[in-house]
Amino acid sequence: MQIQAYLLPDYLSLMAGSLQLIVLLMAFYHAPWRVLRLDPGRIHLVAGGAVACLVLWLINIRTVDGLILHLLGMTTLTLVVGWSLSIIAASLSLLVMNLLLGLDLCGYPVSWFFTVLLPASVSSTLASLLYRPGLRNPFVYMLGAGFAGGGLVVLLVALLAVALFALTGMGNLLEVISEYWPLLLLMMFSEAFINGMCVSALAIFFPDWLKTFDDHFYLDDA
């Protein structure tokens, strides 16, 4: 979700920009650079995931003035390359998207929070929660982290966006958005289906591509 700058108070953009700087420094610090040097093929996964997200984000709709809605795809990217690399790759993709669409970069940090940080963090946390001995079944990973994870991300993004609009005094915008609430269900289903199918296909045919999928844990006998 992209929120254009003229809708946002200056202090909110400044706070989001500070958070973005801190998170990006953490992502660069914790990113597995040594693994990328030893396995250059994973660089292709990171770059390919970044391009795929960019293409997906460029296919968007503008139902409300100042808001750009699109599917995210961050669940799949996070499960493939991990939290740190997904934050770095998606941040660059979002910057390119803003430049291509000619959007004011003052709104970039807030849009980054909803499009990159929140989806990546939720997907990574959910995958960690499902990595339990009692859940040693690949279908738990596919359905939980892939399908359910994608839908949950959209729901949380929508709820936090509504909370943000309410706290910043954009009540008029909330009234307009409330007319499009059925769109939320459609986007939740679409996000869940796309990410679930991608994650399931990768888990079956290319399990080594998924950083968060341990095929020995899920497939070997206990």
Q: Is residue 36 pLDDT above 80, yes or no?
A: yes
Q: Over pLDDT 90: what percentage of the chain?
A: 68
User: What is this structure's pTM?
Assistant: 0.94
> Which residues, in sequence order, are bridge partners of residue 68?
2
Q: Tell me the pLDDT tens digit for each residue of 152-163.
A: 999 999 999 988
Considering the domain delimited by 2-219, tell me its CATH architecture: Orthogonal Bundle (1.10)
Q: Which whole number is the average pLDDT over 54-68?
A: 88
Q: Which whole number is the average pLDDT over 170-193?
A: 83
> Which residues, in sequence order, are bridge partners of residue 70?
60
Cα dihedral 17, 153, 54, 40 in deg (nearest 10):
90
Average predicted confidence (pLDDT) for the chain: 91
Cβ neighbours of residue 126 under 8 Å, at least 6 residues apart?
144, 145, 148, 149, 152
Better-predicted residue by pLDDT, 169 or 151: 151
Q: Is residue 178 pLDDT above 80, yes or no?
A: no
Q: Tell me the pLDDT tens digit for each residue of 79-118.
A: 999 999 999 999 999 999 999 999 999 999 999 999 999 9
Starting at the edge strand found earlier in the chain, the sheet holding 2-3 runs 2-3, 67-70, 60-61
Helix/strand/coil for 129: helix
| pLDDT, position 175 | 74
| pLDDT, position 97 | 96
Q: Tell me the pLDDT tens digit for each residue of 195-218.
A: 999 999 999 999 999 999 887 887
Q: What is the DSSP letter of 8?
A: S
Q: Is residue 172 pLDDT above 80, yes or no?
A: no
Q: Which whole number is the average pLDDT over 127-148?
A: 91
Cα–Cα distance list, 178 to 13, 15, 171, 174, 183 (Å): 24, 27, 11, 6, 10
Residues found in the chain = 222
Which residue, 210, 2, 212, 207, is CA-closest to 96?
A: 2
Q: Where are the domains of the chain?
A: 2-219
| pLDDT, position 183 | 87
| pLDDT, position 222 | 47
Q: Is residue 171 pLDDT above 70, yes or no?
A: no
